[in-house]
Structure 1
Amino acid sequence: MSAVATLPVRRRVSPKLTRGLIGVVVLLVLAELVSRLGIIPENILPPMSRVLLDTAGLIVNPAFLGDVGSTLTAWAIGLGIAIVIAVPAGLVLGSFRIAYEASSAVVEFMRPIPSVALIPLAILVFGLGTDMKIALVVYASLWPIFFNTVYGVRDVDPIAKETARTFRLSRVGILARVSLPYAAPLAATGVRISAAIALIVTISAELLAGSASGIGSYILRISSGGGDTSLVFAGTIVAGLLGMLVNGVLVAIEKKIFAWKKEGVA
């Protein structure tokens, strides 16, 4: 074996990632200078060096990690319920045009209602606990998953359906063995979109409703108590990092499960 063949393969750093990191560093440096030079008072925009130190402290703070756990619990349960409801509903309504047209009036009425507008109603029905957050997450997360599943089902190759019928598959069999595999990539994209929406709604509900626990509740306690603005920014940064982490994990799962999309269908 030649010496060249034994050399380790070096993975190149993605130029997109490099440019993104450079942009973040430049933004942090500019924010630091703006604060240090007094262009914006430190009580409004604290130095980014202090914010980053507070962020590191929050990540290892047991009390704050409890708030993070509360947010993620409501997020995960609500998103899971939304998936269980939206995917079957999208499969059925996307496959049967009459059923979709019969339900379209209700769907089009409910879809534009913002989740935050339902917070007072959710508080009346579920109180200020986790159930309230879960209900809002379910409502907000349903729509991207549902419509992506419907579009995926409608995009199924008609020849594939006809082939399934020649093998005498029932309608349920066609849904399970033809429509669902075809619609799965679009449904997964809907799940990824809904995951970000669900996190936003969870934290917003905690912040606006004054929930007992959660990242939004932590930010509300610090800001309303006249606390350090740096801690408010730190809590916000943690929320943003969680969103990036969730999206990155779901993108990786999509690439793993649907690798055939890039390779094409033989």
Structure 2
Amino acid sequence: MTLHRSALGVLGLAVVAAVVEAAPRLGVVDPDYLPPFTAIAARLGRVLGGADFWAALGDTLRGWALGLSIAMAAGIALGVLIGSVPVLRAVTASTIEFLRPIPSVALIPLVVLIYGSRMQSALVLVVYASFWQVLVQVLYGVADVDPVVRDTARSYRFSRWGTVRTVVWPTALPYVVTGFRLAAAVALILEITAELIIGVPGLGKSIGVAQSSGAVAETYALVIVVGVLGVLVNLAARAVERRALRWHVSVREQA
């Protein structure tokens, strides 16, 4: 079944490549706006051979990983703390529901005003967007703890840390991993967006420079790279999920 699905996926990509190759050559679209796929692939090969591309890729991955790490640490710590203290949960509920829907891109003028086009601008956007993905999932996970199990731990006089480690964390872990998977994708989107709009060094900035200079084939080539990077991030997040939750019934059923 997995092999069949992979073959269909490859077939779908081949069809898309064939359409992109044929459309400009048959005059369906203007080659100045959509070059043939072979031209894009040739340009992609030249881009991959340049040192500037790998430096931009490194900047993108560095910003993505740093922002995601900060968001995970803050989201887990605050989620467990707020979720474990009913008073804190009640006090912060309205604030969380107010701040969470605010689009991160709405903060772009503010971060540009404060940090300009430096890495910190992208970092703020990435952390802000990813943090809510993690925090909300952790809050759900803590709330899902069986009250009977929690009361049993209390009756055996477990310490606060012992209760978190042996009762709260195992229940919340599937939610934490889901938050990580969501945050990983959101972090990459915001990193590329900040690079593209603000001019923070990275693949997004390279796409903007190529587009503004009229290098259409290179623009498409870099977009393909970003798409592949997104797929790899999703696959890596899925792999982490399967490994972290190999004991969980959902992963065992998939296996």
TM-score between the two structures when normalised by the length of structure 1: 0.89
Alpha-carbon shift at residue 95 of structure 1 (Å): 2.1
Residue equivalent to 1:44 = 33
Q: Which of 215, 229, 250 is the matching residue for 1:242?
A: 229
- How many equivalent residue pairs? 251
What RMSD over aligned residues (CA atoms) do the two structures have, in Å? 1.6
Q: What are the Cα deviations for residues 135-191 of structure 1, in whole angstroms up to 9, with x where unaligned?
A: 110001001111111111111222322332232112332122211121112111111
Partner Cα distance (2:4, 2:247) in 1: 25
After TM superposition, list the pairs within 5 Å mapping 1:83-232 onto structure 2. 83-211=72-200, 213-226=201-214, 228-232=215-219
Q: What are the Cα deviations for residues 55-100 of structure 1, in whole angstroms up to 9, with x where unaligned?
A: 2332332111101111111111111111110011111222223211
User: Is the counterpart of residue 27 in structure 1 residue 16 in structure 2?
Assistant: yes
Read off the aligned partner of 2:181 and give its amino acid letter: R
Structure 2 CA distance for partners of 1:156 and 1:57, relative to 1, 3 Å: farther
More displaced stretch, 126-135 vs 165-174: 165-174
Q: State the identity as a percent.
A: 37
Partner Cα distance (1:135, 1:232) in 2: 26
Alpha-carbon shift at residue 108 of structure 1 (Å): 1.6
Runs of 4+ displaced beyond 4 Å:
none
Residue segments in structure 2 that go unaligned for 5+ positions in a row: none
Alpha-carbon shift at residue 13 of structure 1 (Å): 4.8
Higher-Rg structure is: 1
Residue segments in structure 1 that go unaligned for 5+ positions in a row: 1-11
Structure 2 CA distance for partners of 1:89 and 1:225, relative to 1, 3 Å: same
Other structure's SS at 1:14 match:
helix
Alpha-carbon shift at residue 209 of structure 1 (Å): 1.1
